[in-house]
Structure 1
Amino acid sequence: MDLLPLEIVELILSSPNLSIKDVINFSSTCHYYRELISTNNTLWKQKFRDKWPDLTDLFDNNFNYYYQEIIYVHNLFRLTQQKLELMPSRFCKKYEISECELEEWTLLLNEKHENYWYLVTYLMDIVNTSATIESIDVVSLNTPGNKTQQYYASKVLRHIRQAHLLKEWLVFRSLSPKEQLLEIGATFVAQWCQPQLQITHKRISTKLDKIANAVKRKLKNIYPSHPIFSVPLEELNKWKRYNLDRNQWSPVECKQIMQVLKEVLFDDMRFTGNNVAYYMPQNSFINEVLDFKQGLPITLAIIYEAVARRLGLLCQPINFPAHFMLRFAEDCQDWYYIDVFNGGNIVRRGGCPHARTRMSDRSQIEYPVATAVQVVERMANNLEVSARQHTQVNGRVTRLRSSLELLKLVSPQDISALVSLARLYMLHSMDTRSLESFLLNQEFQVPEQAQRVVHMLRDYESHPSRSRTEQNSPVEAARRTPDLKFAVGMVMTHLALDYKCVIYDWDPECLASEDWQEQMHVDLLRFGAKQPFYNVLVEDGSHRYVAQENLQPTSDTGFLYLNDDVGRHFSHFFHTHYVPNANKEREYPQDKEVRLAFHAELVKYGL
């Protein structure tokens, strides 16, 4: 080895087949190589880029500390894993984790600018892994594919994303109106509500560029002499980066582009308004609408405006009370509306039912052009309505919380949204101190309203049931009774309603309130309330409380994998049943024998 030229050693170690760990192990073979390799910035730069290709833009070409940065990232990831391993014990009794309880992650995030990207990369790898676990026993939390690790990693990922986006929003609001692009606002909303996805404005912009290029190709075939084809690239990029203050073409030339733009978007690419599932949250996310070509009026209008701007057309957003359209003027005087939700139909000023408000004196007031901030506020309101009205139970609380917290950020004076957020926090036993602090630091038009909410939060926090000592107390092991037939982790079919569910908790007899028992007609059951009742997770995302006589074991999990809360209780699915995580196993230690007997019986009969 001593005879090998340094260049050959470096070439070998630069191979993508050798990991960072391999290179470090090699450097440990002798003092000479350790010194040589640790100071080789070119080598470590290559290793950094091989390991994290999406992070190559974090540093400029003059950065000379890649070895030290890799060591830092390694230690950060180890600390992240340690923190994740503590979360199941801390939060096993909580359905939602508050901002205050995740403050340590905010501190870690703020330690240095690059930490956001490092933490997101690490957590995304955990959340989106496709690894499976083949073990009938409880596995450690850091096992790839562990649903409990994925569950808490997704909670932290959401918190980190939104802590970062809060800063991004402040930057966006500080920009000049010329720089506040609608597409950036829409990307912000999509990022806030979909933390598990890697959504960037660069990727959104690239998709919008492709649509604009498709329009230009078709325009070239129909109107080859259009002046857009002689515009310098620098000017085209300027239209892409900044809002226009006027159209760049004559009225005739504008009409030609508008005609082709409509054909490409609505005839060729088949963008359309989603009337069938209007309240699906995906209709508000620009990444989803670009991929699936369906959306709300506001999202479709943002896409249309972004493409039109790239083509030199000025389309202005109009925020009607019951609709959202774009306003366009070919000659800066006579203008009309573009109804993007309905195939880009042209609506003249006098024919639009949403175009003006009639006052008591019958005068008419035109709606003003909406700012980018106002458009984002409208999108946040749409998402709140969507979360309340959408029938999909799975993740509904998280969706509602995200939309209300988004409203808190983009529309901090909306006291009704803040009241709704306060009630949601209290309903799910969350720490409300950060919301109280926010209310006290805001200047509201009616201060008394905010004070009433603060008093409500303080009463809630001081209630005996809010004792944090009690919430964090150790879980006592449950003792089975002879009447209990089933166990935690067993997959069941409801005999009357035919849905699939998994047991995560049980009571020897019904402990629900008398009102609930009366409402559910428990008295009509064969064994009434004097039989075991089970808390179950259902494949539609809900939690239910079911009598033993209504359940039957099965190995068919249906759509249970879609239930967001499976990971809160279970680490993985093993052939016939869900395996509890370590906390749940300690809570129900005697259930393992019942669960294994059920598994053995199904295997014996090949079911």
Structure 2
Amino acid sequence: MEQLPVEIIEKILVNRKISIEDVVHFSLTCHHFHNIVMNSNKIWKTKLFEKWPQFRSVLENKHIIFQHEIRYIYELKKRTRSMLEKMPPRFYKKYEISDSDLHEWSVILHEREEVYNYLVNDLMDIVNTEAAIKSIEVVPLSTPGNKTLQYYANKVLRYIRQLHLSKVWKSYISLPQPRQVLEIGAIFVAQWSQPNVEVSFDEITGKLDRIADEVKHALRLSHPTHSLFKTPPEEFELWRFENRTENRWNVPECRQLITVMREVLFQQMGFSGNNQAYYMPQNSFINEVLDKKQGLPITLAIVFEAVARRLGLRCEPISFPAHFLLRFCESSDPDSDWYYIDVFNGGQVVRKGACPHSRFSGSRDLFPVATAVQVVERMANNLEVSARQHAHPNGRITRLRSSLELLKLVNPRDISALVSLARVYMLHNMDTKSLEHFLLSQEFEVPEQAQRVVHMLRDYEAHHAHTVAGYDQVEAAQRTSNLQFAVGMVMQHLTLNYKCVIYDWDPVCLAAAEWQAQNNVDKLHLKDDQPFYNVLVEDGSHRYVAQENLRPTADTGSIHLNDDVGRHFSHFFETHYVPNAEKEKEYPADRKVRHMYYQKSVQDRYQL
């Protein structure tokens, strides 16, 4: 084989069935093959794009040594896992991790331009691993499928995505107005709010292209002589990413196209407003709206406008105080007929005289066209409302924090949002210095309000020392004889019927008297003189529950969807959740109780 030409050896090694590991092993067989492999950029480039095709757009046209790039990617993976494994001891006692706590990740991002893509890909692999862990004991953090590793990977993923998207936003708003198309803003919101979901720009725009093609097909059947079919492809391509200043067609052809559009989107494809769950966050995410064909007025309007623009029509987004419509004028003549399209209600046409928001005047300029920035800001406001309505008061706060940080980016002078964000930081003992610096660096129109927030933050800083919980600060809890259950056991509430998992307990109720009065603790059989358990509930919340209100259950319900499961547990094993190393250190005696419960469950199954 040593006599084979280099070209033949390269051709063999670039075969898809040969992995990077195979190439490395082959190179170790002798010096001759080692030199061929190490000096062949073709082999390493082929192998890199076979293993990570998503990196092709980032690296394709770069003059790099691909073997070095592969080595860097693997070394970065090791560093990523090493850094993640140091996080649980540091942050076990912290409910929310401050951006300042994650600063070391931003340092890595500056090493080279491609690091962001490499990190996101690696963290997404960790987060989306569904490997089952079949062990009743505590497992190492590095075990594939470990929920604690996934929990912290999610935290880092959110941080680095939003760092990157902050730069994307600045680039977007620096574009000339005609280039600030609405779907790009909507994609930005979806990416910001769903850091562990791959919302691809190409995928979203491709779906909008396909809807436009469906409209063209329907138009050809009903109006085959429409001028649209004489338009060159390059003109359609220009319309994809540039806002229109006027319609491309005459009035009759505009009417034909709008009619077909409404039929295709609302009758054939079934796009509609989601009345049953209006403020669910998914209604604000364009990827979800395109998949499920349901959304808020604003996201449905963005879809409709994007398709209309691809077909040479101009639809103007109008942000009414309590609704969001598209205004359509059939010609550029200011005195010509115009109307609203209500995308939330099946594309219903609302004439200007029939619209309650136009009762003051027939003028087309009564409500100005919403800019792309204003549309994104309204979407962020919707997400804040959604987070407040659909997050349990004592549940996870990450969605609210994320929406407020989005508002801070989109409208840095929104004092109300900044005050709310400051309160979130203070409530969860987070570092407020970055917000303080931000307020002092802004040129607010109402500086006295900004100064008031700064004073509030400084007062908080003066009275709250920020300590990072270390591993050695976790003290072992001592079980008492009245404790029946253990950390990790899956329970059902006897009256409210929800499923939950215990992650903490107190031998007696330690809640404040006001909380006890509000929750009728005095009406319990044993009142406050019984164990109370902190539990993670399947609705995403955490609650404090009396022992007499809980019973073990084999039904885990939707507990796995609670984002905080990984903060306390590494995996689920048959009957219960297994604590991670930090939780096990805090509740070592609970292991025996869990094991006894597991053994009893096994015996009961055999008896059946």
Offset, 1:13: 2.5
Matched, 1:354 2:357: yes
Please tell me whether residue 344 in structure 1 is matched to residue 347 in structure 2.
yes
Counterpart residue identity of residue 45, structure 1: K
Question: What amino acid does structure 2 have at the position aligned with 1:267?
Answer: Q
> Structure 1 396/274 Cα, relative in aligned 2: closer, same or farther at 3 Å?
farther
Distance in 1 separating the partners of 2:62 and 2:108: 26
The answer for the alignment partner of 1:123 in structure 2 is 123
Deviation at 1:166, TM superposition (A): 0.1
TM-fit CA distance, 1:278: 0.8
The 8 Å contact of residues 93 and 469 in structure 2, kept in 1 or not, is answered as no
Identity %: 62
| Alpha-carbon contact 2:534-2:544 (below 8 Å) kept | yes
Question: How many angstroms apart in 1 are the aligned matches of 2:472 and 2:38?
Answer: 47
Which residue in the other structure is 1:309 paired with?
A: 309
Alignment-derived partner of residue 543 in structure 1: 542
Q: CA deviation at 1:377?
A: 0.9
Q: How many residues align?
A: 603
Q: What residue is the counterpart of 1:377 in the other structure?
A: 377
Matched, 1:193 2:196: no
1:98 matched residue in structure 2? 98
Q: Contact conserved, 1:395 with 1:564, CA < 8 A, in 2? A: no
Q: Deviations over 1:11-40 (max 9, x none)?
A: 332233333223223222333322221111
Is structure 2 residue 60 aligned with structure 1 residue 60? Answer: yes
In 2: Cα distance, 1:518 partner to 1:605 partner: 40
Alignment-derived partner of residue 515 in structure 2: 516
- 1:570-581 to 2 correspondence within 5 Å? 570-581=569-580
In structure 2, the CA distance between the partners of 1:110 and 1:207, relative to structure 1 (3 Å rule), is same
Q: Which amino acid aligns with 1:530?
A: D
State the shift of 1:357 in Å: 5.7
Deviation, structure 1 residue 417: 0.4
Structure 1 equivalent of residue 367 of structure 2: 367
Q: For 1:28 and 1:433, locate their aligned partners in 2 and report how far apart those are by CA, in whole Å.
A: 53
Distance 1:279 1:61 in 2: 44
Distance 1:102 1:356, change over 3 A: farther
Q: Is the 8 A contact 2:394 2:543 kept in 1?
A: no
Look up the equivalent residue of 1:511 and give its one-letter code. Answer: L
TM-score computed with the length of structure 1 as normaliser: 0.96
Provide the C-alpha distance between the structure 2 equivalents of 1:99 and 1:229, rounded to a whole number of angstroms.
53
Contact 1:387 1:396 in 2 (8 A): no
| Aligned residue type for 2:108 | L
Return 111-120 or 473-482, whichever deviates more.
473-482
Q: How does 1:195-210 map to 2 (within 5 A)?
A: 195-210=195-210
| Distance in 1 between residues matched to 2:166 and 2:395, nearest whole Å | 22
- When residues 174 and 462 of structure 1 are mapped into structure 2, their CA distance, relative to the original with a 3 A threshold, is same
Deviation at 1:529, TM superposition (A): 2.1
Which residue of the partner structure matches residue 506 of structure 1? 505
SS of the counterpart of 1:351? coil
Query: How do 1:104-503 residues align onto structure 2 when only pairs under 5 Å count?
Result: 104-332=104-332, 333=334, 334=336, 335-355=338-358, 366-390=366-390, 397-464=397-464, 466-468=465-467, 474-503=473-502
Per the TM alignment, residue 471 of structure 1 is displaced from its structure 2 partner at its CA by: 7.0
Verify the 8 A CA contact 2:429 2:466 in the aligned structure 1.
no
Structure 2 CA distance for partners of 1:212 and 1:97, relative to 1, 3 Å: same
Does the 8 Å contact 1:356/1:365 carry over to 2?
no
| Compared CA separation, residues 62 and 583, structure 1 to 2 (3 A) | closer
Amino acid at match of 1:419: V
Structure 1 CA distance, aligned partners of 2:570 and 2:313?
A: 54
**Cα separation, 2, equivalents of 1:324 and 1:317:** 7
Return the alpha-carbon distance in structure 1 between the equivalents of residues 186 and 364 of structure 2. 31
Do the aligned residues in 2 keep the contact of 1:393 with 1:540 (CA within 8 Å)?
Answer: no
Do the aligned partners of residues 357 and 18 (structure 1) sit closer, same or farther apart at CA in structure 2, a change above 3 Å counting? farther
**1:558-597 correspondence to structure 2 within 5 Å:** 558-597=557-596
In 2, Cα distance between equivalents of 1:100 and 1:21? 38
Stretches of structure 2 that go unaligned for 5 or more consecutive residues are none
| Compared CA separation, residues 200 and 510, structure 1 to 2 (3 A) | same
Q: Report how far residue 473 of structure 1 moved.
A: 5.7
Residue type of the alignment partner of 1:278 = Y
Question: Greater CA deviation, 423-432 or 565-574?
Answer: 423-432
Amino acid at match of 1:398: T
Alpha-carbon distance in structure 1 between the residues aligned to 2:309 and 2:394: 38
Q: Report the Cα offset of residue 291 of structure 1.
A: 0.8
Distance of 1:28 and 1:461 partners within structure 2:
58
Report 1:19-58 matches (<5 A): 19-58=19-58
The Cα shift of 1:433 comes to 1.1
Partner of 2:356, secondary structure, is coil
1:388 alignment partner AA: R
Most deviating of 64-73 and 16-25: 16-25
Report the alpha carbon displacement of residue 563 of structure 1 after superposing the two structures with TM.
Answer: 1.0
Which stretch shows the higher mean deviation, 30-39 or 94-103?
Answer: 30-39
Considering only aligned residues, what root-mean-square deviation do their CA atoms show, in Å?
1.9
- Equivalent position SS for 1:468: coil
Asked if 2 retains the 8 angstrom alpha-carbon contact of 1:356 and 1:367, the reply is: no
Q: Deviations over 1:388-428 (max 9, x none)?
A: 12367797522111111100000111000000011011111
Q: Larger deviation: 467-476 or 63-72? A: 467-476
User: Helix, strand or coil for the counterpart of 1:178?
Assistant: helix
- Distance in 1 (CA, whole Å) between partners of 2:469 and 2:158 is 27
Residue 550 of structure 1 deviates from its aligned partner by 2.1
Q: Indicate conservation of the 8 Å contact 2:394/2:542, yes or no.
A: no
| Counterparts of 2:503 and 2:16, CA distance in 1 | 45
2: CA distance, partners of 1:585 / 1:520: 30
